Structure 1
Amino acid sequence: MLMILGLILLFLIMIIGGDRGVISLIALVGNMLLLSLAIWLMAAGAPVLLVTIGMGIIISCVTLFYQNGTNEKTKSAFAAVLITMTVLFFFIYMVVWRSETGGLNEIQAAEDDVLYYNMNLDINMRNVATAVIILSTLGAVLDMALTVTTSVYEVSIHKPEMKLTELVESGMQIGREVIGTTVNTLLFAYLGESLLLFSYLKMQDYTLETLLNSKILFQNCVSMIFGAIACVVVMPVAAVLVGRHLPGYNH
């Protein structure tokens, strides 16, 4: 069934997306291989955070430069993502460290299947939790950064008389228009994935206090929240960077 669905997706991308669709598909496969390589390196004992940073940079390059070419839009988007994720990295690590959110949550630890696996893993679960949040956040940030830089670039072409501050404001306005949709996408992706979990918790009569203080809720929500924060932060960074790098505005 998975192969059939995959073939349907491949067919639709090639027919509807054309050459751009094929390039996007190749980039998607490449990013999946990179994520698989990152998992293998972590399991082999490589430093989790270094692998995460390296793979995050490579995935960003593939997503931006291979799919969209090397130009002022993609260069500015890459720089904005790099700045935003560097700043958020420290906050993400601090939150994971203070909340001790790494490892199995309450339901996973109580499952019978856990008894059949060796849990003596030589890997720092806090670093793994940090890596999961960073890589989960990266996709939404890349999309928002490229949306803003492309918008500012197009406005500058059609209205070259605009000042830098006006260009930046136009990029911010476009970012505000799409931020609601982006946050909704993150929210519904989380809710859809956790629908069965919420039903289970309801049937087990967990109290609201227990749920709010549980590791399982935090693990499921933190990626969504940091993804939304990163999308908001990257908007002004991307707008300013692309405005400064456009011909006639680099002053």
Structure 2
Amino acid sequence: MTSTPQRHQHPEPGHHPGHGPGPEHGQPQSAAAQGHSHGHAHGHSHGHSHGHGPATPVSAHLRKVIAAILVPFAAAVAAGLIVLWPGGTPDHKAHERTGLGFDQQTVAGRVVKVEEVDCADVNAQPQQPIEPGQDVTNQQSAAGGPGSGEKTICEKATIEVTSGKDKGRRFEEIVQPNASRKFSAGQKLKLAYAPKAPKNLQYSVSDVDRAMPMALLAGLFALAVVAVGRLRGVFALVALAVSFGVLTLFILPAILQGSNPLVVAVIGGSAIMLIALYMCHGLTARTSVAVLGTLVSLLLIGLLGSLFIGWASLTGNTDDQTGLVHGLYPDIEIRGLLLAGVIIGSLGVLDDVTVTQTSAVWELRAADPTAGRRALYAAAMRIGRDHIASVVNTLVLAYAGASLPLLLLFSIADSGVGTVATSELVAEEIVRTLVGSIGLIASVPVTTALATLVVCADRAPEGGAEQGGRTSRSGRGRRRRARGR
């Protein structure tokens, strides 16, 4: 079957392909030519719209059904934000600072100069680990201590306070040769201030000032996101800023002021989910399905986390930071804080899985509009199985990497696997990992089923909506071309 050149040209505005006059001669085409041109034009338009255009819209009825579920949920989240809003971070002046960990008053400082000195001249004795069978005398001799006859070189750093009421004051810090942190002239530091200590001991080095490299890395990250994601990347960065704002302005202060950590995490996490998903992916039915899938999975994670944290008798008070927070704010429920961490930690990966599955269902439906619910669900689940296998592995490795020093300590202790796994330190991470992974696994079939129901619910009648008619005519056009070949 041959075709003339004008049959492959796009129709002019105002002309329906195959029904108006020819673009060159102004004469009607034959029925076969009309069918060929009609099928080709609509087939091309259909494929182009799904390959590069927006997602196929759903009917007004389905949008109302989805809205009837999500609008009350969003209203409940907004009400929870209003009721539990802490009104700012707690006033640290209301209690005495401990001066431990992050609960320190800090000022800026810099290293003025560094010089080498004899450790004995500054009364600094390097500490060396005592090996089995070695007494203290031998240790001191090996370290260059008294009786060794060897000089041990230390570093004396002169440090200047560059902010606060004592700006310009200088003090000295001795760095032993086996210290992990070394100083260099001009290096910026964070200094801890202890007002009740003797004047010559009020300032000490707390940490290194890392503002510049961290800001540069954040700038490179933002540049990469915008360069690849373009406008959507910009929205993703805005959503990230909003999420961080909800975390620092609502979740953390509300927990510190005594609100139930689990309730705060659910409300704050739901707010982050709604803002991030709709801002990044648009106010569409496809995004709403991803929100529903994420919500169901979060509820499952909350229930399982609450059950197994209580059943395993996990207290959540397993590190110095948690103990310090509990000491400063005794009213905080530490076990609820652990469960809140599980929910918030799982939220980011859940968003990725649910959005990917919803998009997969929509694109599969666009590629084959005639596919039934069962075939569409099976095809999307094949994609989901590949995705979930890699995501679960990523989640487990992320928790293992964060707990690597702890795992090394257990390896050094040569404890059995059962002893290590059931200790509270490790059991807490295991419960956190497995509960989050179960929620991720469940999100795949749940989100896929919801998306399949939505995209297959609309059946365009003959001569109905423009989208339905376009799809139907495109299918007839493809069948005619197949018979012609």
Considering the TM-score relative to the shorter chain, is it more than 0.5?
Answer: yes
Corresponding letter in the other structure for 1:47 = N
Given the two structures, how large is their TM-score scaled by the length of structure 1?
Answer: 0.89
1:63 to 276, 281, 284: 276
Residue 242 of structure 2: aligned partner: 30
Equivalents in 1 of 2:390, 2:324: separation in Å? 42
Aligned: 1:147 with 2:356: yes
Number of paired residues? 246
Aligned: 1:118 with 2:327: yes
Q: 1:208 to 1:65 in 2, by over 3 A?
A: same
Residue 217 of structure 2: aligned partner: 5
Residue 439 of structure 2: aligned partner: 230
Residue 292 of structure 2: aligned partner: 79
Q: 1:236 to 1:51 in 2, by over 3 A?
A: same
Corresponding letter in the other structure for 1:232 = I
Q: 1:26 to 1:200 in 2, by over 3 A?
A: same
- Contact in 1 for aligned 2:300/2:439 (Cα 8 Å): no
- Contact in 1 for aligned 2:308/2:431 (Cα 8 Å): no
Structure number with higher relative contact order (C-alpha < 8 Å, ≥ 6 residues apart) = 1
Describe the SS at the equivalent of 1:46. Answer: coil
Q: What's the offset of the Cα at 1:239?
A: 1.1
Q: What are the Cα deviations for residues 119-156 of structure 1, in whole angstroms up to 9, with x where unaligned?
A: 66102112111111111112222211111111000111
Corresponding letter in the other structure for 2:381 = M
Describe the SS at the equivalent of 1:118. Answer: helix
Percent of paired sites with the same residue: 24
Q: What are the Cα deviations for residues 209-230 of structure 1, in whole angstroms up to 9, with x where unaligned?
A: 4312211111222222122211
Equivalents in 2 of 1:116, 1:236: separation in Å? 39
1:90 to 303, 309, 331: 303
Equivalents in 1 of 2:275, 2:326: separation in Å? 36
Aligned: 1:180 with 2:419: no
Corresponding letter in the other structure for 1:4 = L
Corresponding letter in the other structure for 2:233 = G
2:252 to 14, 39, 61: 39
Q: What's the offset of the Cα at 1:207?
A: 4.0
Corresponding letter in the other structure for 1:52 = A
Q: What are the Cα deviations for residues 36-59 of structure 1, in whole angstroms up to 9, with x where unaligned?
A: 220111101122222111112111
Residue 100 of structure 1: aligned partner: 313
Q: What are the Cα deviations for residues 174-212 of structure 1, in whole angstroms up to 9, with x where unaligned?
A: 100111110121122112212222222323444434312
Q: What are the Cα deviations for residues 71-98 of structure 1, in whole angstroms up to 9, with x where unaligned?
A: 1221111111212222332221011111
Corresponding letter in the other structure for 2:302 = F
Equivalents in 2 of 1:122, 1:114: separation in Å? 13
Equivalents in 2 of 1:32, 1:192: separation in Å? 23
Q: 1:204 to 1:70 in 2, by over 3 A?
A: same
1:200 to 409, 418, 438: 409
Describe the SS at the equivalent of 2:327. Answer: coil
- Contact in 2 for aligned 1:38/1:51 (Cα 8 Å): yes
Corresponding letter in the other structure for 1:88 = I
- Contact in 1 for aligned 2:225/2:234 (Cα 8 Å): yes
Q: 1:209 to 1:20 in 2, by over 3 A?
A: same
Q: 1:200 to 1:167 in 2, by over 3 A?
A: same
Q: 1:231 to 1:99 in 2, by over 3 A?
A: same
State the structure with more CA Rg: 2
Residue 165 of structure 1: aligned partner: 374
Describe the SS at the equivalent of 2:283. Answer: coil
Given the two structures, how large is their TM-score scaled by the length of structure 2?
Answer: 0.48
Equivalents in 1 of 2:294, 2:325: separation in Å? 41
- Contact in 2 for aligned 1:80/1:238 (Cα 8 Å): yes
- Contact in 1 for aligned 2:269/2:347 (Cα 8 Å): yes
Equivalents in 2 of 1:16, 1:149: separation in Å? 22
Equivalents in 1 of 2:326, 2:261: separation in Å? 22
Q: Compute the RMSD of aligned alpha carbons.
A: 2.3
Corresponding letter in the other structure for 2:307 = M
